[in-house]
Amino acid sequence: MARGGINLAVVKKALEALLARGQNPSIDAVRIELGNTGSKTTIQRYLKEIDGYDSRPTASPARLSDELTTILESLLARLIAEGNEALAHERTLFGQERQKLEEGARALEGKLEQADQTIARLELALKSQVEELQTSQSSLQAEVTRNARISQSCTDLEVRVQEKDEQIRSLEEKHRHARDALEHYRAATKEQREQDERRHDAQLHQQQQEVTALQQTLMMKQDEIARLIRDNERLIGDNRQSSREVAQQRDSIERLRADVGLANAATARAEGARELLQEQMVTLNSASDALRTTIATLETREKQSSTTLEQALAEVEALRARNSEMESPQKE
């Protein structure tokens, strides 16, 4: 029920007063007109019950002069025509802009798909490069191990060669001493024989006694000479054998040095391959970062395009609202 004496007649009277003053007969305006009495729900119910309720002020064309009516009708027609032209122009511009935005969005989607495919290819290439790098590192480690083993073998062989050189020098020293002893013995024997010949005439009897001793001594010396000759021949044979062994050891060292050179070359190639792979990885990482930056830029542009499209839609809705507002008086 209405409170404070509010009824349908009172509400209708307040409504007519607002319409007469050209005001919008809203619920709040009617309540103010009623002196801020009555609930809004009650006022709204009464307003719905009033026949011919209209929120716009009523005006009769008969109250205006013919000239003013003609001017207003001309202005209204011109306003509607210009509004329709502007609306059509805006719709055309909006359609073109929307088509451009859609084409740009499709182009961005194509670029994004291409970028995804490129990233996938780069990731596969990077994975392959990483696997090749791991294989190269394994080969490099094997070559380094083999190089260390060969270097150790070379060191051992050089030690053995030095030992053989020492043995050769020792044998040569012994051979020199034996040769010197033989030369000394030959010189002493020659000198002794010459002395014996000079004393032969004066000491023939003594010489004959000494011949036996000299023969015995000579036999001993001959035995010693034979022994020295055998030792000399044995030393010469040992020297030749040692020389052959040294030559063989030197050939082995040369072969090992050649293997070391090959191993060092392989190591250098592996190092070069590793550096090349590292440079390729840096290049691939740079390309991947550039692609990510491009993708981020494309996403930003897509967001800007979406924002522009939303703004254009909002402007179109505003133009439609204005057109509706312009068409409403014409219908009246």
pLDDT, one tens digit per residue, over 198-257 is 887 777 677 677 768 767 876 887 787 678 778 767 877 876 786 787 688 778 778 877
Q: How many CA atoms lie within 13 A of 256 on its CB side?
A: 19
In this prediction, residues 12-31 reach a mean pLDDT of 86
Integer angstrom CA distances of residue 22 from 40, 58, 69 = 21, 8, 18
Query: How many Cβ atoms from other residues are within 10 Å of residue 6's Cβ?
Result: 19
Q: Which residues contact 199 (CB under 8 A, 6 or more apart)?
A: 206, 207
User: What's residue 210's pLDDT?
Assistant: 74
Does the model's pTM come out above 0.85? no
CB 55 within 8 A of CB 23: no
pLDDT(322) > 80: no
What does the alpha-carbon distance between residue 213 and residue 18 come to, in Å, rounded to a whole number?
177
**Long-range pairs for 282-285: beta carbons < 8 A, 24 or more residues apart:** 284/122, 284/125, 284/126, 284/129, 285/126
Share of the chain above pLDDT 70, in %: 86
Residue 53 predicted with pLDDT over 50:
no
- Taking only the tens place, the pLDDT of each residue in 264-311 is 787 788 678 778 767 877 776 777 677 778 778 877 877 777 787 777
| Dist CA 144 CA 281 (whole Å) | 24
Distance CA 106, CA 111 (A): 9
pLDDT of residue 57: 46
Domain boundaries, the chain: 1-55, 99-198+207-322
Reading phi first (left if > 0) and then psi (alpha if -120 to 50, else beta), residue 41 is in alpha
Q: Whole-angstrom Cα distance, residue 9 to residue 216?
A: 180
Amino acid at 279: E
Percentage of residues in the chain with pLDDT exceeding 90?
0
Tell me the pLDDT tens digit for each residue of 149-180.
Answer: 888 887 888 888 888 888 888 888 887 887 78
Which tokens sit at 272?
Answer: 């070069």
Of 15-24, 127-136, 138-147, 286-295, minimum mean pLDDT range? 286-295
pLDDT surpasses 50 at 260: yes
CATH entry 1.10.287 includes domain 99-198+207-322: yes
- Looking at residue 316, its pLDDT comes to 73
